[in-house]
């Protein structure tokens, strides 16, 4: 099976595809906000530490398991463990990826709707108009469904074209475009009057804010942002070649992801501060606050405001689509390999089932609000269960599995490409995977339930 397995065609394509999976809505709406709230540059330093000491080793671990297995995430864990209970960790990864696809698709669909609304000039008006526009749209029973269907179909067509012709090709077009859009908006935002205040908010280090929760926020964000424990990294690594230097690749992907997150901050905060708006977080930041920010900031040049707003939502849609592709691939490879179906049929199962999940999540925000538990909508529950429960459990057990149960020689062979690349960092890697990462993940897990 492994001889005929698809693979990425070039190194740059492989890095762009993996980085595309990692760069997503989390970089644009969560990172800048967390940075501003948690001590600016001080938070960025802590975040970089988390990426370096925890995110990269966890990513390398998933690379090792994925490339070794050369199959979907469930089977990769199964092969690495010789078929024992550790394969359930792989299954959890597939399940996490599968469940996220639906609700991530809903938000990705909102981004497409906003591209459309920007083109039609519907996002102007006072702040309360944009707020009610978002509220009526996101709770509408039909329109979000249309965009969810559209974005899932788009993803579907990329996926059925295969790893090289679909995923790699799309990433090679979308990621450079995303970068260009990002740079254009950062430049426009930083040229606005009073932009310096936003830059200061983002970069002024305030070490007095650094406490335990800052560390845990940075840690949680680094895992989410790098798409750790969702099956995506492991699935993409199953298409890596035996020559791919796994440590270098993890560093490159993390650098791209972090750079995009910091640039996203430089895109949002200078514009927000130049019009005196204090940016909030989450969906309200990108779907309610920002349309106002752009129209006010460029009020003297409405055409520029219109263009920037359009470019911003295009950028957001690109970031979301590349992540959605990586999520879809987790389940497509699982269904097609485990049920012995063609890639096309596997993809149809995923597109249809995730559409249903997404539709239920979307309806739970409006007409089906009875679908809530403890005041949380179905949408929030999916977010909570996958991000706060499955993600840490999957990450924790992946570290324990690779650090303590897989034969050391197997890990070393994968890490060093069978002795052809340097083993200089292997000792540090093993130390981090065995002790530091599991303890750190355990602490975020316990912290979010108020245990520590």
Nearest to 233 by CA among 203, 206, 261, 253: 253
Between 285 and 406, name the residue whose CB sits nearer to ligand PHE.
285
- To ligand PHE, the closest distance from the beta carbon of 195 in angstroms equals 25
Q: Is 398 in the site for ligand PHE (CB under 6 A)?
A: no
Span of 18-26, 63-71, 126-134, 357-365 interacting with ligand PHE by CB under 6 A: 18-26
Q: Is 253 in the site for ligand PHE (CB under 6 A)?
A: no
Concatenate the DSSP letters of all residues of 232-271 into one string.
HHHHHHTT--TT--HHHHHHHHHHHHHHHHHHHHHHHHHH
Between 130 and 181, name the residue whose CB sits nearer to ligand PHE.
181
In the region spanning residues 200 to 229, those forming contacts with ligand PHE, defined by CB under 6 A, are: 224-225, 227
- To ligand PHE, the closest distance from the beta carbon of 446 in angstroms equals 22
Distance, CA of 436 to CA of 152 (rounded, Å): 38
162 near 342, Cβ under 8 Å? no
Q: Which of 13, 20, 26, 36 binds ligand PHE (CB under 6 A)?
A: 26
- To ligand PHE, the closest distance from the beta carbon of 104 in angstroms equals 6
Between 225 and 416, name the residue whose CB sits nearer to ligand PHE.
225
Helix, strand, coil share (%) of the chain residues, nearest 5: 75, 0, 20
Between 264 and 363, name the residue whose CB sits nearer to ligand PHE.
264
Q: Which of 20, 24, 90, 109 binds ligand PHE (CB under 6 A)?
A: 24
Alpha carbon 91 to chain centroid, angstroms: 19
Between 383 and 414, name the residue whose CB sits nearer to ligand PHE.
383
Q: Is 232 in the site for ligand PHE (CB under 6 A)?
A: yes
Residues in the chain: 452
35 near 45, Cβ under 8 Å? no
Q: Is 113 in the site for ligand PHE (CB under 6 A)?
A: no
- To ligand PHE, the closest distance from the beta carbon of 166 in angstroms equals 17
Q: Which of 8, 19, 20, 27 binds ligand PHE (CB under 6 A)?
A: 27
Residue spans of beta strands (DSSP E) within 42-142: none
Between 8 and 103, name the residue whose CB sits nearer to ligand PHE.
103
**What is the C-alpha end-to-end distance of the chain, expressed in Å?**
47
**29 contact partners, CB below 8 Å, separation of at least 6:** 281, 282, 283, 285, 286
Task: Compute how many other C-beta atoms are within 10 angstroms of the C-beta atom of residue 65.
Answer: 29
Phi/psi-derived region of residue 336, left when phi > 0, alpha when psi is between -120 and 50, beta in every other case: alpha
Span of 25-33, 132-140, 361-369, 375-383 interacting with ligand PHE by CB under 6 A: 25-33
Q: If binding means CB under 6 A, how many residues of this protein chain bind ligand PHE?
A: 15
| φ, ψ dihedrals at 239, nearest 5° | -100, 5
Q: Which of 19, 25, 130, 437 binds ligand PHE (CB under 6 A)?
A: 25
Between 100 and 433, name the residue whose CB sits nearer to ligand PHE.
100
Q: Is 100 in the site for ligand PHE (CB under 6 A)?
A: yes
In the region spanning residues 35 to 74, those forming contacts with ligand PHE, defined by CB under 6 A, are: none
Concatenate the DSSP letters of all residues of 334-394 into one string.
HHHHHTT--HHHHHHHHHHHHHHHHHHHHHHTTTTTTSEETTEEHHHHHHHIIIIIIHHHH
For the chain, what is the largest distance between any 2 Cα atoms, rounded to a whole number of angstroms? 66
- To ligand PHE, the closest distance from the beta carbon of 230 in angstroms equals 4
Closest-by-Cβ residue to ligand PHE is 24
Write each residue from 324 to 353 as x if it is in contact with ligand PHE (CB under 6 A), else as -, in one continuous string.
--xx--------------------------
Alpha carbon 280 to chain centroid, angstroms: 20
In the region spanning residues 294 to 323, those forming contacts with ligand PHE, defined by CB under 6 A, are: 323
Task: Compute how many other C-beta atoms are within 10 angstroms of the C-beta atom of residue 2.
Answer: 9
Q: Which residues of 280-290 are buried (b: 16+ CB within 10 A; e: fewer)?
A: eeeeebbbbbb
- To ligand PHE, the closest distance from the beta carbon of 221 in angstroms equals 9
Between 259 and 304, name the residue whose CB sits nearer to ligand PHE.
259
- To ligand PHE, the closest distance from the beta carbon of 370 in angstroms equals 28
- To ligand PHE, the closest distance from the beta carbon of 387 in angstroms equals 8
- To ligand PHE, the closest distance from the beta carbon of 151 in angstroms equals 14
Between 39 and 93, name the residue whose CB sits nearer to ligand PHE.
93
Q: Which of 19, 230, 432, 444 binds ligand PHE (CB under 6 A)?
A: 230
**Binding-site ranges for ligand PHE (CB under 6 A):** 21-22, 24-27, 100, 224-225, 227, 230, 232, 323, 326-327
């Amino acid at each position: 099976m492994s001889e005929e397995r698809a693979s990425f065609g070039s190194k740059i394509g492989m890095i762009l595809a993996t980085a595309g999976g990692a760069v997503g809505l989390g970089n644009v709406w969560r990172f800048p906000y967390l940075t501003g709230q948690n001590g600016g540059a001080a938070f960025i330093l802590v975040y970089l530490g988390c990426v370096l000491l925890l995110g990269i080793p966890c990513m390398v671990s998933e690379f090792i398991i994925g490339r070794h297995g050369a199959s979907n995430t469930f089977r990769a864990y199964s092969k690495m463990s010789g078929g024992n209970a550790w394969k359930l960790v792989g299954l959890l990864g597939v399940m996490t990826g599968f469940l996220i696809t639906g609700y991530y698709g809903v938000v990705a669909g909102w981004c497409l709707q906003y591209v459309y609304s920007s083109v039609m000039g519907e996002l102007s008006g006072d702040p309360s108009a944009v707020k009610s526009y978002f509220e009526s749209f996101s709770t509408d029973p039909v329109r979000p469904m249309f965009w969810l269907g559209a974005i899932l179909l788009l993803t579907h067509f990329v996926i059925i074209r295969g790893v090289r012709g679909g995923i790699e090709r799309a990433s090679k077009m979308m990621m450079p475009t995303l970068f260009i859009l990002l740079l254009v908006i950062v430049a426009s935002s930083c040229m606005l009057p009073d932009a310096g205040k936003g830059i200061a908010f983002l970069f002024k280090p305030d070490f007095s804010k650094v406490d335990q929760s800052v560390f845990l926020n940075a840690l949680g964000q680094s895992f989410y942002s790098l798409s750790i424990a969702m099956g995506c990294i492991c699935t993409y690594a199953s298409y890596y070649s035996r020559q791919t230097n796994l440590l270098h690749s993890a560093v490159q992907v993390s650098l791209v992801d972090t750079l995009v997150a910091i640039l996203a901050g430089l895109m949002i905060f200078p514009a927000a501060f130049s019009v005196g708006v204090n940016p909030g977080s989450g969906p309200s930041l990108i779907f309610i606050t920002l349309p106002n920010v752009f129209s006010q900031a460029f009020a003297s040049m409405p055409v520029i405001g219109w263009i920037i707003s359009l470019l911003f939502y295009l950028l957001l849609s690109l970031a979301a689509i590349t992540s959605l592709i990586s999520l879809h691939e987790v389940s497509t490879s699982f269904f097609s390999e485990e049920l012995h179906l063609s890639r096309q049929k596997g993809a149809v199962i995923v597109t249809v089932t995730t559409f249903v999940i997404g539709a239920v999540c979307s309806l739970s925000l409006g007409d089906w609000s009875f679908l809530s538990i403890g005041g949380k909508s179905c949408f929030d529950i999916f977010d909570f269960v996958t991000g706060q429960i499955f993600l840490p459990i999957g990450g924790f057990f992946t570290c324990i599995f690779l650090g303590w149960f897989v034969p050391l020689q197997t890990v070393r062979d994968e890490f060093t490409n069978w002795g052809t690349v340097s083993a200089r960092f292997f000792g540090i890697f093993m130390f981090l995977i065995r002790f530091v990462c599991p303890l750190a993940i355990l602490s975020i897990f316990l912290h979010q339930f108020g245990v520590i």
